[in-house]
């Protein structure tokens, strides 16, 4: 095991395998003159030890890159744009630039993105996890080199990695409680992959609100999909075909909720008269659709600022990140016309 913070070189790999540094160098470059089995051992050992290819001159090896990596599921959302804007404001002021990549909701892309950032010698990494990420071993290369990693929004609880998110359970509980107060008794929840904290916690909040109001949880009313437009339309059609028909939909993001509203109206039904609808995120589209959408508001820009400050503080005070507790940011229920079944008093 290499010493924490020590840069692994081809000489370290050579010493471990008891071969020459020249052979290691050629093996890493896939030179035809190196035996296939030897190449395999070299690559496996390099990976295990946390070696990263050095594209800089050796006298620059220990200098900072002044680059912070950001890995997000997708860039095409208002929330993520706000997060990145918050991150950029803080890191630019501190003299850093961003290296941004998207996983497109695939763990294999997330792994590749992390490796590229490691090899490009970023000073820190901010991550919002992909839908199907099952483990975070690909970030261990960073922690072994004392490179800070902070998760935000979609997180995994781990002692080595601070995280920043909202209380998704509490937010979902408050939203579903509001729907119940409006007289809704058969509430559909359209959620995302339950391996992600944001969706699992929102589902738990939904279930607990039902339980606390003596409403049964019906598995048929929990629809899990990828929350895309196509999936939202399919879910809305499924809801419209249910017997008895549900009287409310709580979607795990606004994009899904808005497309449900459009599909419900297309079928000739009224929102919220026939079916109330609520979303999550308070995207700009929430106030464009008619009726305006009830949702949960939490500030992406603020989340980005906090995440960036956490990284910057660690870089200014190495070792401090391990003593940093994860942060829970505030959120707020925004009630609009899409859920108001009862007339205002």
Q: What would the pLDDT profile of 237-285 be if each residue is shown by its tens digit?
A: 999 999 999 999 999 999 999 999 999 999 999 999 999 999 999 999 9
Domain containing residue 89: CATH number:
3.40.50.2300
- Shared-domain flag, residues 185 and 289: yes
Average pLDDT of the residues of the chain:
90
Residue 213 exposure: Cα atoms within 13 Å on the Cβ side: 22
d(CA 11, CA 181): 68
Closest CA to 55 of 106, 116, 100, 126: 116
- Shared-domain flag, residues 159 and 178: no
Closest CA to 139 of 150, 153, 130: 150
- Shared-domain flag, residues 162 and 305: yes
Q: What is the mean pLDDT of residues 334-343?
A: 91
- Shared-domain flag, residues 217 and 290: yes
- Shared-domain flag, residues 82 and 197: no
DSSP reduced 3-state for 8: coil
The answer to whether 276 and 249 have CB atoms below 8 angstroms apart is yes
Q: What is the mean pLDDT of residues 192-216?
A: 96
Q: pLDDT tens-digit profile of 140-190?
A: 989 888 899 999 999 988 888 899 999 999 999 999 999 999 999 999 999
Query: Residue 5 falls within a domain, yes or no?
Result: no
Q: What are phi and psi of 185, to 5 degrees?
A: -125, -20
Query: Residue 4 falls within a domain, yes or no?
Result: no
Residue in the block written with tokens 């939202």: 232
Q: Is the pLDDT of residue 63 over 80?
A: no
**Residue 6, token pair as written in the block:** 């020590």
d(CA 217, CA 108): 35
Query: Residue 344 falls within a domain, yes or no?
Result: no
Query: Residue 294 falls within a domain, yes or no?
Result: yes
d(CA 108, CA 77): 21
281 alpha carbon, distance to own chain's centre: 13
d(CA 88, CA 97): 8
d(CA 187, CA 300): 28
Overall domain count for the chain: 3
Range of the domain at 27: 10-58
**Residue 70, token pair as written in the block:** 């950001």
Query: Residue 16 falls within a domain, yes or no?
Result: yes
DSSP reduced 3-state for 56: coil
Residues 6+ apart with CB under 8 A from 83: 72, 128, 152, 153, 300, 301, 303, 304, 307
**Residue 275, token pair as written in the block:** 């079916």
250 beta partners: 189, 278
d(CA 138, CA 151): 13
- In this prediction, residue 48 carries a pLDDT of 85
Q: What is the mean pLDDT of residues 101-110?
A: 95
d(CA 259, CA 239): 13
Q: pLDDT tens-digit profile of 318-335?
A: 766 555 668 999 999 999
- Shared-domain flag, residues 48 and 100: no
Q: What is the mean pLDDT of residues 199-212?
A: 98
Q: pLDDT tens-digit profile of 10-27?
A: 888 888 899 888 888 888
188 beta partners: 249
Buried b (16+ CB within 10 A) or exposed e, 169-179: bebbbbbbbbb
Q: What is the mean pLDDT of residues 193-213?
A: 96
- In this prediction, residue 53 carries a pLDDT of 67
pTM of the model: 0.79
- In this prediction, residue 57 carries a pLDDT of 39
């Amino acid at each position: 095991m290499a010493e924490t913070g020590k840069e692994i070189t081809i000489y370290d790999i050579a010493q471990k395998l008891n071969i020459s540094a020249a052979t290691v160098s050629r093996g890493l470059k896939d030179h035809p003159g190196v035996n296939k089995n030897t190449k395999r051992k070299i690559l496996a050992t390099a990976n295990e030890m946390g070696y990263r290819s050095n594209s800089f001159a050796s006298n620059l090896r220990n200098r900072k890159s002044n680059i912070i990596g950001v890995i997000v599921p997708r860039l095409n959302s208002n929330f993520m744009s706000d997060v990145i804007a918050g991150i950029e404001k803080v890191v630019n002021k501190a003299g850093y630039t961003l290296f941004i990549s998207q996983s497109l909701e695939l763990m294999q892309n997330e792994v590749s993105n992390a490796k590229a950032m490691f090899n490009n010698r970023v000073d820190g990494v901010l991550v919002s996890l992909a839908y199907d990420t099952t483990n975070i071993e690909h970030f261990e290369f960073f922690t072994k080199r004392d490179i800070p990693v902070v998760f935000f929004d979609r997180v995994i609880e781990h002692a080595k990695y601070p995280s920043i998110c909202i209380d998704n359970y509490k937010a979902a509980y408050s939203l579903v409680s509001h729907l119940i107060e409006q007289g809704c008794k058969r509430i559909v929840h359209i959620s995302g992959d339950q391996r992600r904290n944001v969706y699992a916690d929102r589902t738990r909040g939904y279930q607990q609100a039902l339980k606390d109001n003596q409403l049964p949880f019906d598995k048929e009313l929990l629809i899990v999909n990828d929350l895309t437009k196509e999936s939202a339309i399919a879910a809305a059609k499924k809801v419209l075909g249910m017997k008895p028909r549900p009287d409310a939909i709580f979607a795990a993001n606004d994009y899904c909720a808005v497309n449900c509203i459009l599909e419900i109206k297309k079928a000739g039904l009224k929102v919220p008269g026939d079916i109330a609808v609520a979303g999550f995120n308070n995207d700009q589209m929430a106030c464009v659709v008619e009726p305006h959408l009830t949702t949960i508001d939490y500030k992406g820009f603020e989340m980005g600022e906090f995440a960036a400050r956490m990284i910057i503080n660690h870089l200014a005070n190495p070792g401090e990140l391990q003593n940093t507790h994860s942060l829970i940011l505030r959120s707020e229920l925004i009630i609009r016309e899409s859920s108001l079944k009862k007339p205002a008093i």
